[in-house]
């Protein structure tokens, strides 16, 4: 009986809490005032003065109301609204800065205004800005911002920064762009997460953060120097270590492009044989055997899909049998787990060996048992 009375009392107290507490307390953060409500329902009626009124009130709003306000600002079409969104991104609000940055990028008419996001000390916001700036003309201000981001501890920032260089006008400031990339290469391995394994969407976790970043640099240099490959000789002779290895891989790739028209078709396989300088081949041998960056070793083996001949078979067979780099199957995507099921379901996967075996089949003109391993 007493327990029943206690339950009734507790229920009554809860009813008091939900019904008798004044609406002004519960809804304080939901209904700011009638004027703000009216403005948010009719964003087209906003002007600069009204936007300032809203910005004075926004810190008192909860998450949902701040989101509603941001969406309303985006519909005004006013430059002041862009400035207001930037103020929210820079400030301390409940709403996600990433969300506001995304909305900001959607309403700016001039893509170059995305540089404003690069000035905010938040890697997530900066990455959004860098992605939006791909294809933009690079002026002195943006060069300086990119130069700083190419030295960031967060290597994903470096990858997106080099992406901006890669998608810019190839003929302008080529030497300056390549020099900036080289400066960034020199400090990649000083990043706190350089040795951390990162996930690549199509494969899984097989590369370190540093290795994948070198891959982005190789791609950018290859694109930028496409119309001026002579600059590669300078850097091959002036650099050393990993940086030189990157330029050698780019040089092999560029040489293959130049000689593609003179290439010979291989038997039954969709790869053409391209002959390159024997000294470059020896450099690739060295990278495959001695480089400590597995991404570079994989890239070097991949080149033999088009430059490999029967003379390379002995070397490639040794790699296919003895290369030490391996990863557990659990780090691969489901697609690759399925591809490898018939080979070794629980055994470690050897990416360089796998690539070497594929190259051997291509050189011999044998059919491939499954899709190529994609880097």
Which DSSP string do the residues of 147-174 spell out, in sequence order?
Answer: HHHTT-SSHHHHHHHHHHHHTS-TTSSH
| 349 φ/ψ angles, rounded to the nearest 5 degrees | -100, 135
Overall average pLDDT of the 253-269 stretch: 56
Q: Which residue has the higher pLDDT, 163 or 231?
A: 163
206 pLDDT band, cuts 50/70/90, is: confident
Q: Which residue has the higher pLDDT, 355 or 365?
A: 355
Please write the tens of the pLDDT for every residue from 291-332: 999 999 999 999 888 888 889 999 999 999 999 998 877 776
The percent of residues above 70 in pLDDT, for the chain, comes to 75
Give the model's pLDDT for residue 27. Answer: 43
| Contacts by 55-59, CB closer than 8 A, 24 or more apart | 55/84, 55/87, 57/32, 57/33, 58/88, 58/93, 59/91, 59/93
Give the model's pLDDT for residue 12. Answer: 61
Give the model's pLDDT for residue 261. Answer: 47
Give the model's pLDDT for residue 340. Answer: 54
When mean pLDDT is compared across 57-71, 91-105, 163-177, the lowest value belongs to 57-71
Q: Which residue has the higher pLDDT, 358 or 51?
A: 358
Q: Which residue has the higher pLDDT, 145 or 261?
A: 145
| Residue reference for tokens 């009626």 | 45
Write down the number of H helices and E strands in the chain: 21, 4
Average pLDDT taken over every residue of the chain: 81
Cα 299 to Cα 84: distance, rounded to the nearest angstrom = 46
Overall average pLDDT of the 343-355 stretch: 76
Cα 252 to Cα 128: distance, rounded to the nearest angstrom = 33
334 pLDDT band, cuts 50/70/90, is: low
Enumerate the β-bridge partners of residue 107. Answer: none
125 pLDDT higher than 90: yes
182 pLDDT band, cuts 50/70/90, is: very high
Cα 275 to Cα 281: distance, rounded to the nearest angstrom = 10
239 pLDDT higher than 80: yes
146 pLDDT higher than 90: yes
Overall average pLDDT of the 117-144 stretch: 93
Please write the tens of the pLDDT for every residue from 68-82: 888 888 888 778 888
116 pLDDT higher than 50: yes
Give the model's pLDDT for residue 343. Answer: 52
When mean pLDDT is compared across 87-91, 134-138, 309-313, 330-334, the lowest value belongs to 330-334
36 pLDDT higher than 70: no
Give the model's pLDDT for residue 9. Answer: 63
Instruction: Decide: 291 and 189 in contact? Cβ < 8 Å.
Output: no
Give the model's pLDDT for residue 254. Answer: 79
Overall average pLDDT of the 123-152 stretch: 94
| 200 φ/ψ angles, rounded to the nearest 5 degrees | -105, 130
Say whether pTM exceeds 0.85.
no
Instruction: Decide: 276 and 331 in contact? Cβ < 8 Å.
Output: no
């Amino acid at each position: 009986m007493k327990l029943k009375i206690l339950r009734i009392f507790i229920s009554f107290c809860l009813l008091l809490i939900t019904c008798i507490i004044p609406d002004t307390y519960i809804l304080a953060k939901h209904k700011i005032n009638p004027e703000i409500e009216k403005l948010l329902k009719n964003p087209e009626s906003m002007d600069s003065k009204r936007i300032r009124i809203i910005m004075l009130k926004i810190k008192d709003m909860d998450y949902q109301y701040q989101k509603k306000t941001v969406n309303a600002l985006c519909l005004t079409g006013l430059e002041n609204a862009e400035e207001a969104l930037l103020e929210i991104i820079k400030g301390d609000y409940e709403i996600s800065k990433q969300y506001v940055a995304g909305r900001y990028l959607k309403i700016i008419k001039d893509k170059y205004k995305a540089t404003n996001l690069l000035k905010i000390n938040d890697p997530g916001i900066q990455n959004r800005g860098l992605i939006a700036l791909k294809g933009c003309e690079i002026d002195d201000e943006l060069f300086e911002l990119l130069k700083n981001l190419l030295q960031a501890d967060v290597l994903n920032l470096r990858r997106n920064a080099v992406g901006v260089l890669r998608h810019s006008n190839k003929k302008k400031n080529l030497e300056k762009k390549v020099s900036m990339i080289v400066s960034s290469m020199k400090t990649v391995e000083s990043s706190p997460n350089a040795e951390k394994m990162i996930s690549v969407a199509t494969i899984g976790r097989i590369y370190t953060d540093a290795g994948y970043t070198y891959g982005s640099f190789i791609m950018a240099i290859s694109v930028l120097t496409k119309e001026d490959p002579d600059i590669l000789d300078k850097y091959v002779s002036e650099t050393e270590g990993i940086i030189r290895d990157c330029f050698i891989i780019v040089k092999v790739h560029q040489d293959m492009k130049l000689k593609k028209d003179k290439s010979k078709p291989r038997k039954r396989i969709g790869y053409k044989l391209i002959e390159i300088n024997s000294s470059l081949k020896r450099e690739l041998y060295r990278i495959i055997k001695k480089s400590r960056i597995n991404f570079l070793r994989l890239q070097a083996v991949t080149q033999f899909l088009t430059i490999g001949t029967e003379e390379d078979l002995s070397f490639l067979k040794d790699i296919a049998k003895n290369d030490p780099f391996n990863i557990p199957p659990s780090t691969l995507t489901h697609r690759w787990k399925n591809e490898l099921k018939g080979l070794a379901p629980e055994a470690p996967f050897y990416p360089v060996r796998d690539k070497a075996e594929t190259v051997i089949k291509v050189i011999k003109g044998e059919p491939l048992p499954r899709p190529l391993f994609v880097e």
